[in-house]
Amino acid sequence: MTFNGKEATTSLDICQLFSKKFASVFTDETLSDHHVERAASYTARSGQALSTIHLDATMISRACSKLKSSLNPGPDGIPSKFLKKQIANLISPLQHVFQLSVTSGIFPSCWKLAYMFPVHKKENKHDVSNYRGITSLCAVAKLFELVIMEPLLAHCKAFISTDQHGFTAGRSNRTLPVAV
């Protein structure tokens, strides 16, 4: 494998090339409290705090049915297929943990872990530059995301412009009005 003129033949050296490639397109930028407060000052207030969102068993069950089935575990060691098969037994503890996360505003650190692996995208398979990184997230974190998405969008909907088309369900650059 090669990257920026360097060649690697051992597994360790190849992994280091991929690490350099992926690190080159990643920034570890941390915003100062001043920048966060300034951005927040331009945000409209609804009067309703997100911590008042109540997550129930039906929401978790519905979200679990949308979870992609996979036997490959993420960093938590839990395959999504296990969650899907055992959801009836897990709803109560998951509901408690998810609600605690929403109420406290704390997302568990262990859910922030991910595995990253390269996937070939084009041309020469021996050039690390022709790969993109794919992450495998914790299954419970993916489930939490699916559970919280609906109430989060409902909460934020009033603040999203009707002109917003990208990253909005049922809209894309093809649904933009044509300028005359």
Residues 22 and 116: beta-carbon distance below 8 Å: yes
What torsion do the CA atoms of 151, 152, 153, 156 make, to the nearest 10 degrees? Answer: 120
pLDDT at 167: 72
Residues 14 and 8: beta-carbon distance below 8 Å: yes
* C-beta contacts of 21-25 below 8 A and 24+ residues apart: 21/128, 21/129, 21/131, 22/116, 22/118, 22/133
Torsion-angle region of 4 (φ positive above 0: left; ψ -120 to 50: alpha; else: beta): left
pLDDT at 176: 60
Taking Cα atoms as reference points, which of 1, 4, 26 lies closest to residue 15?
1
Taking Cα atoms as reference points, which of 100, 81, 89 lies closest to residue 142?
81
Please report, for residues 47, 156, 161, the alpha-carbon distance to residue 41 in angstroms, rounded to integers and kept in the order given.
14, 16, 18
Residues 95 and 57: beta-carbon distance below 8 Å: yes
- Which tokens in the block code for residue 38? 């300034």
pLDDT at 144: 96
pLDDT at 58: 95
Which mean pLDDT values do the consecutive 10-residue runs of the chain (180 residues) have? 93 92 80 82 64 88 94 92 95 96 90 90 94 91 93 79 74 63
pLDDT at 159: 75
